[in-house]
Amino acid sequence: MNWNQIDIWIVVGYLLLMLVIAFWHRKFASSSMDNFFLGGRQIPGWMNGISYTSALVSPDAATGYGGLAVATGGFICWWYLSRFGFALFLGGVLFAFFWRRLNLFTTLEFYDLRFAPRAAAAMRLWIAIRTSLIAMPAWTGITLLAAYKIMGPAFNLSKIETLALVVPISLLFVFSSGYKGVVVSNLIQMVIFLIGTTTLLILTVSHFGGPAEMVETITNQFGADSAEILGITPPVDHSVFPLAAAMGWLVGQSIGYGGDAAPMGGAMEGQRILSTRSPSEALTMYVVTALSMFILLLLVTLPCISAAVLWPELRQTGADRELVYGRLMKMLLPVGGMGLMVAAMLAATMSTVGDNLNFGSQVLVSDIYRRWVVRSAKEGHYMHAGKVGMVIILALSVAVVFNVLVITDVAIFMLSLSAAELPANWAQWWWWRFNGPARIAASFGGAAIFCIVVLGPRFLGYLGISWADVLLIPWYWQTLLVMGLNTILWVTVALATKPDPEHLLRSFYIKARPLGWWTPFKGLGQSSDVYPIKPLIRGVVIAFAGAASVSLFILGLTELWFARYLAGASKVFLGVIVFNIFWIQAKKYLIFLNKRSAGNIQTELVRKGARTQVLKKSEQ
């Protein structure tokens, strides 16, 4: 490691820059709740996309994905392509327009619009607790743990020393700057992260003498196993990430995505949507997120694939592979480079911590404190309460740091639990018959089924019951099994109970104008409602085109890393063509949704006018 005075000044300069940004936005953030938590709802879509990427790509990406890359090889890209690729485009094409059009303060207010009061109150309280006091501490905790797993190997820092370096400045920043300051800093932080990760990627390939020489070294070192390392498709049989896992991940994380903009398995997506300037820019947010996130993840994982040559023992079962990125930094970075990478990792850590604290406290204040504890106070009171909420969430996050060892274990657990109710998130938008009891059954029943299927066998094994091992199945099959059983549960409950009140459903339909099966209310809109499946199929096809374009792009860049230049360039070129087709069709789809909503408004105005005339005649 070449840790020099110039490195120290780079890090100090970065921290001072963050403090300047924080205090620059302090006055704007402190003026209102909308400014503090939503940036005045004037954030450009592309900037929100970069900001969302910063929340998703933090040091846990360098550690978690980097460690997985050592164990898998070139097909590591399918870990994040199957999880995010189709899902993000589904959310952007099918739901971003509708979420932004509702113009809520938090997306949890949706439940008050969609369900009867008791069910809505129960769901809003439960999801607020789950989001602010479980999901945000968990994701923040593994981000801080990831920072330690990088700082530890690079500087021999302990967990406490790492937290002392990261936590105070992160907390001070988000206290002062609010959401707008967080987004602006995210842009700077992602630029630093991009420069830092690109630098280490270039140094890694230079260490081997070039891509072709690197491939030759991998082939000579690993022999027959090198075909797996250099491959870009998950093998049918693999101990960490087989093809079935990729397919299970794809289905388990895509079906239902977008119907809930505050999922337990995701970051603060709803905040990004609601703070954009328009519904069309909400779609832009999703697209920019997908492109920027996949590129950054590729920059992080490609050097770690090659690092298997340097530390082949990390491919062994039980090795702590998540230390690999820190080792690469320590080994390859020159004077100045270490400071740049530390600033990059601090930037990524601070952006994620700041995002999580801001979003978690927004939900904690608006959906718990303001609704259930103090209902009528001045905005200043709630903003102070939000800052107290940040401290609470941060304290819970620190507890996670000292009680978790493997980051990917937490990620898989959180995402599998979240997947249990994902199909219900589509149903609450697309099916009028989906009622309050079904919503409650999907949320609480999903958690119960998850505990039975996933935790039950482990508990039986802990008790020493010999046949418990038979019930243990891979995590990806567990995810699909829990999703299937929970879907059967909430569909049964929906059909066995009464629909929600007609006036409530009518009001929601007029305000949200959802797609799907709303047959009893089709007279409120245009004739296109007679064929509810066509707009949905069209949206899914457009989303698939978007997912295919970025997948081709990422696979092409992976091929180029392995010196397969013709195959790589062909995939990149095809990806660009498919993306242009996607973007043209996505814009047309937004025009269709706008016209459809405008038609609904006109129809309702005509109805109101007709009713007014009838009332006047009756009075005469």
Q: What is the mean pLDDT of residues 274-286?
A: 92
Residue 599 pLDDT: 56
Amino acid 263: pLDDT: 55
pLDDT at 297 over 60: yes
Give one DSSP letter per residue of 481-539, joined into a string: HHHHHHHHHHHHHHHHSPPPPHHHHHHHHHHH---SB-GGGGGGS-GGGGSTHHHHHHH
SS3 235: coil
Query: Is residue 25 within 8 Å of residue 264, measured between CB atoms?
Result: no
Residue with tokens 């938008």: 429
Q: Please tell me the least confidently modeled range out of 16-25, 49-58, 261-270, 344-353.
A: 261-270
Which of 26-30, 520-524, 605-609 has the lowest average pLDDT? 605-609
Cα(53)–Cα(56) distance, integer angstroms: 5
Q: What is the pLDDT of residues 347-360, one digit of tens each?
A: 777 777 877 888 88
* pLDDT for res 524: 63
- Grade residue 368 by pLDDT with cuts at 50, 70 and 90: very high
Look at residue 415 in the predicted model and tell me its pLDDT: 66
The HSE-up count of residue 586 (CA atoms within 13 Å, CB side) is 29
Average pLDDT of the residues in 318-338 = 80
pLDDT of residue 410: 64
d(CA 199, CA 231): 24
Per the model's pLDDT, the better-predicted residue between 542 and 64 turns out to be 542
Span 130-139, average pLDDT: 84
Band of pLDDT at residue 401, cut at 50, 70 and 90: confident
In the predicted structure, residue 65 carries a pLDDT above the cut 80:
yes
Give a three-class secondary structure readout of 88-150: HHHHHHHCHHHHHHHCCCCHHHHHHHHCCHHHHHHHHHHHHHHHHHHHHHHHHHHHHHHHHHH
Give me the mean pLDDT over the 143-155 stretch.
74
* pLDDT tens track for 106-116: 888 999 999 99
What pLDDT, in 10s, does the model give residues 231-269? 999 998 888 889 888 888 888 889 989 998 665 445 478
Which of 182-186, 404-408, 469-473 comes out lowest in average pLDDT? 404-408
Q: What percent of the chain stands above pLDDT 90?
A: 35
Task: Give me the mean pLDDT over the 457-482 stretch.
Answer: 81
pLDDT band, very low/low/confident/very high, at 530 (cuts 50, 70, 90): low
Average pLDDT, the chain: 84
More confident residue, 167 or 594: 594
| Alpha-carbon separation of residue 529 from 514, 523, 537 (angstroms) | 10, 8, 14
402 versus 582: the higher-pLDDT residue is 582
Q: Is the pLDDT of residue 498 over 50?
A: yes
Would you say residue 313 has pLDDT above 80? yes
Q: Region 410-414: what's the mean pLDDT?
A: 66
- At residue 2, the pLDDT reads 47
**Whole-angstrom Cα distance, residue 84 to residue 78?**
10
- Alpha carbon 429 to its chain centroid, in Å, reads 20
pLDDT at 616 over 70: no
For residue 609, is pLDDT > 50? no
Write the DSSP assignment of 290-320 as a string of letters. HHHHHHHHHHHHHHHHHHHHH-GGGGSTT--
pLDDT of res. 523: 66
Whether pLDDT at 617 is above 60: no
What pLDDT is attached to residue 611?
42
Q: Which of 171-185, 293-307, 485-499, 596-610 has the lowest mean pLDDT?
A: 596-610
SS3 assignment, position 2: coil
- Could you please report the per-residue DSSP string of 6-75? HHHHHHHHHHHHHHHHHHHTHHHHTT-HHHHHHGGG-B-HHHHHHHHHHHHSSHHIIIIIHHHHHHH-GG
Task: Tell me the average pLDDT across 189-210.
Answer: 89
Confidence of residue 192 (pLDDT cuts 50, 70, 90): confident
Q: Which pLDDT does position 1 carry in this prediction?
A: 43
pLDDT one-digit tens code per residue, 209-241: 999 999 999 999 998 889 989 999 999 888 888
Mean pLDDT for the stretch of residues 596-609? 54
Average pLDDT over residues 588-596: 91
Q: What pLDDT, on a 0 to 100 scale, did the predictor assign at position 613?
A: 44
**For residue 353, what is the enclosing H or E element?**
helix 337-363
Q: Give the pLDDT of residue 168.
A: 82
Q: How confident is the model at residue 155, as a pLDDT? A: 67
Confidence of residue 493 (pLDDT cuts 50, 70, 90): very high
Chain centre distance of CA 230 = 28
**Proportion of the chain above pLDDT 70, given as a percent:** 88
Asked if the model's pLDDT at residue 315 lies above 50, the reply is yes
